[in-house]
């Protein structure tokens, strides 16, 4: 089922289209199976419930050819991290080797996100790499969960694996296992998650060997090439269809966990034929607090937005990103250098993504929504559960409101852009696993959204009550001052924040230093609504009435925001009064 031709891989070999499509489909299935294995065998709820992981398969050059639909900001680092291993070990890579790495300054994101890389050999030749990245609940450091919101250097955020063997030619490196167990708060959980990651890359190796045995390694290798080249071609066509020019956007980071000062960020996106450059020159310098991200995380964040623009539905691989170039000087909030803290890197990557999103919105309205309450709004709680006699750590991202598009309202209660296909905890699991009670989970209708011809999506309200003594809180919410942006006459969205009730003290905040909470204390989390699109007075009156009847908005808001006047019953639109009000505002 193969024919000879001049191909880059396989020594002039090219497989037929049917075999190629079978192999392509099986490669996607391999990545999905890796994800199933990892999720089902992990011990951390943040992995098996929140799905804070991603898996991928790369060719021998380290280029991603298939991946799971996991954390989007992970998948953009796969090729970077595999090539870190290739550069470090070179021709010393052997069958049976497995590596682990989490260095944010060399391909990673933050210490909690641990990558496991397994080279795959076929007939004694390096053929491919399997990689998984998953968020460990605790990796050491100064606070439970390893995400102190007031960290000022990366050494406070846990232990670093700078690309090291966990298996060397098939032999487990027990010293590494012992080091992990001795330096994290939840060693059983951490080692369980490590074993889950090892299982995921091993199953990928097995499936790759089966593919090569059935179809021949030349057919599989040539399919790698075909996947990358066809994706590049489609990507370049999509870029070339956009108007040439430079498109700019600015935004603000609302505090960094150490100071409440606001910091300016900016981007310039230049389209030149079928090439695109995203340049963050002019953004603020790296910050004292942990909302910085490293260059590898920045590149991954931009890949997320770029893929959404060129083809959001097709499976991702490195070929899509060949037209893309990301630029920024070293030492900015988006390209932090050691020892700057990066524990809350997803605040930096979220900001970078949103900037590119905003810059491209005017030329890609069919692909880009308005501004969202773009923060993961992560809450970390931990301590020692005296009832169970063991330590506990709970880390959870909150769901936010997304911006409207030119065709529909924004999504409600959805993960922020860089977090991909993740969830928050089900209430039942959360209360079963942690000494926390959930008193409320609701749409944040009081906070509102950006009105428009299409309105923004609503965020959420979630309230936790502490059921144990001496719990430690770390929390950091972005987009707490600068509202989600809008266009074409829409209104801005609303902001994120939380309310803390600790003892007799009650306060509203967005970033909390390491805080001790006692039994009965409460944290109430509010996530914002997205920006609106288009003139609110053009929204159909019946749609506005439906939202009043659903208790999303009041009759007063209907009148003020949308120019819709309700009848005295509140159950119907006063069409005459509405027409007069809207005409007067025109």
- What are the 10-residue block averages of pLDDT along the chain, 586 residues in total? 37 80 96 97 95 96 92 88 97 98 97 98 98 97 95 98 98 98 97 98 98 96 97 98 98 95 98 98 98 97 95 94 98 98 96 96 93 94 88 95 96 88 89 96 97 98 95 96 96 98 94 93 98 97 97 96 94 95 92
Is-contact 499 506, C-beta < 8 A? yes
Alpha carbons 332 and 335: distance in angstroms, whole number: 5
**Residue 233 neighbours by CB under 8 Å, 6+ apart:** none
Is-contact 375 478, C-beta < 8 A? yes
- The DSSP element (H or E) to which 279 belongs, if any, is strand 275-279
Alpha carbons 165 and 311: distance in angstroms, whole number: 37
In the numeric block, which tokens belong to residue 267? 């981007």
Give Cα 307 distance to the centre of its chain: 14
3-state secondary structure of 40: helix
Q: What angle do CA 54, 171, 176 make, to 5 degrees?
A: 65
Mean per-residue pLDDT over the chain, rounded: 94
User: Strands, DSSP E only, in 205-297?
Assistant: 245-254, 262-272, 275-279
Give Cα 48 distance to the centre of its chain: 16
3-state secondary structure of 524: strand
Comparing C-alpha atoms, which of 515, 425, 415 is closest to residue 147?
515
Q: Which pLDDT score, from 0 to 100, does residue 389 have? A: 85
Q: Which pLDDT score, from 0 to 100, does residue 200 have? A: 98
DSSP one-letter code for 340:
S
User: Strands, DSSP E only, in 356-444?
Assistant: 378-385, 390-396, 436-443
pTM: 0.94
Comparing C-alpha atoms, which of 420, 27, 514 is closest to residue 222?
27
Q: Which pLDDT score, from 0 to 100, does residue 12 have? A: 59
Q: Locate tokens 């192999």: which residue? A: 23
For the beta carbon of residue 242, count every other beta carbon within 10 angstroms: 17
Query: Does the bond joining 192 to the residue before it have cis omega, within 30 degrees of 0?
Result: no
Alpha carbons 94 and 117: distance in angstroms, whole number: 12
Alpha carbons 397 and 413: distance in angstroms, whole number: 11
Give me the phi and psi of 171, to 5 degrees please.
-105, 125
CB-facing half-sphere around the CA of 219: CA atoms within 13 A: 24
- The DSSP element (H or E) to which 133 belongs, if any, is strand 125-135
Q: In what order do the strands lie in the sheet with 324-327?
A: 245-254, 262-272, 275-279, 324-327
Write the burial class of residue 64 (CB in 10 Å: 0-12 exposed, 13-18 middle, 19+ buried): buried
DSSP string, 33-76: HHHHHHHHH---HHHHTT--EEEEEEETTS-EEEE-S--HHHHT
Q: Which pLDDT score, from 0 to 100, does residue 9 have? A: 45
Q: Which pLDDT score, from 0 to 100, does residue 5 have? A: 33
Q: Which pLDDT score, from 0 to 100, does residue 390 have? A: 87
In the numeric block, which tokens belong to residue 485? 């942006």
Q: Which pLDDT score, from 0 to 100, does residue 420 have? A: 74
């Amino acid at each position: 089922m193969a024919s000879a031709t001049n191909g880059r891989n396989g020594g002039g070999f090219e497989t037929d289209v049917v075999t190629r499509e079978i192999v392509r489909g099986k490669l996607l299935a391999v990545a999905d199976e890796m994800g199933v294995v990892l999720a089902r065998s992990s011990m951390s709820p943040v992995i098996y419930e929140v799905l804070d992981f991603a898996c991928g398969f790369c060719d021998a050059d380290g280029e991603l050819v298939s991946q799971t639909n996991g954390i989007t900001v992970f998948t953009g680092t796969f090729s970077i991290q595999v090539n870190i291993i290739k550069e470090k070990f070179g021709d010393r890579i052997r069958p049976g080797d497995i590596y682990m790495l989490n260095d944010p300054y060399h391909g990673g994101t933050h210490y909690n996100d641990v990558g496991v890389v397994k080279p795959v050999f076929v007939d004694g030749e390096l053929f491919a790499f399997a990689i998984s990245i998953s968020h460990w609940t605790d990796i050491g450091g100064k606070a439970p969960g390893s995400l102190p919101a007031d960290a000022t250097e990366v050494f406070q955020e846990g232990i670093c694996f700078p690309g090291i063997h966990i298996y060397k030619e098939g032999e487990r490196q027990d010293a590494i296992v012992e080091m992990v167990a001795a330096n994290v708060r939840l060693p059983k959980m951490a080692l369980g998650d490590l074993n889950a990651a090892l299982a995921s890359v091993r199953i990928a190796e097995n499936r790759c060997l089966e593919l090569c045995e059935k179809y021949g390694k030349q057919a599989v290798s040539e399919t790698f090439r075909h996947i990358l080249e066809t994706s590049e071609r489609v990507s370049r066509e999509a870029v070339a269809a956009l108007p040439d020019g430079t498109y700019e956007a600015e935004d603000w980071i609302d505090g960094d966990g150490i100071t409440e000062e606001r910091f300016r960020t900016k981007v310039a996106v230049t389209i030149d034929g079928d090439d695109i450059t995203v340049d963050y020159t002019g953004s603020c310098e790296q910050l004292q607090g942990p909302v910085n991200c490293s260059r590898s995380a920045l590149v991954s964040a931009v890949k997320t937005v770029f893929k959404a623009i060129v083809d959001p539905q097709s499976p991702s691989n490195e070929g899509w990103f060949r037209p893309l170039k990301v630029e920024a000087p070293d030492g900015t909030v988006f390209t932090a250098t050691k020892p700057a803290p990066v524990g809350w890197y997803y605040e930096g990557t979220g900001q970078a993504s949103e900037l590119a999103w905003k810059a491209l919105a005017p030329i890609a309205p069919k692909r880009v929504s308005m501004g969202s309450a773009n923060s993961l709004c992560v809450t970390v709680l931990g301590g020692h559960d005296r009832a169970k006699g063991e330590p506990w750590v709970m880390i959870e991202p909150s769901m936010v409101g997304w911006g409207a598009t030119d065709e529909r309202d924004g999504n409600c209660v959805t993960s922020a852009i860089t977090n991909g296909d993740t969830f928050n905890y089900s209430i039942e699991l959360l209360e079963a696993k942690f000494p926390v009670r959930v008193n409320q989970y609701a749409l944040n209708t009081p906070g509102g959204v950006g009105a428009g011809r299409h309105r923004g999506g609503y965020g959420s309200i979630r309230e936790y009550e502490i059921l144990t003594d001496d719990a430690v809180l770390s929390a950091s919410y972005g987009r707490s001052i600068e509202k989600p942006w809008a266009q074409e006459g829409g209104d801005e969205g609303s902001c994120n924040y939380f309310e803390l009730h600790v003892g007799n003290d009650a306060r509203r905040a967005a970033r909390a230093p390491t805080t001790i909470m006692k039994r009965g204390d409460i944290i109430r989390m509010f996530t914002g609504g997205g920006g609106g699109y288009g003139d609110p007075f053009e929204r159909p009156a019946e749609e506005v009435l439906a939202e009043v009847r659903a208790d999303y908005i009041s009759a007063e808001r209907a009148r003020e925001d949308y120019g819709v006047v309700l009848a005295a019953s509140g159950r119907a639109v006063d069409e005459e009064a509405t027409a007069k009000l809207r005409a007067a505002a025109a």
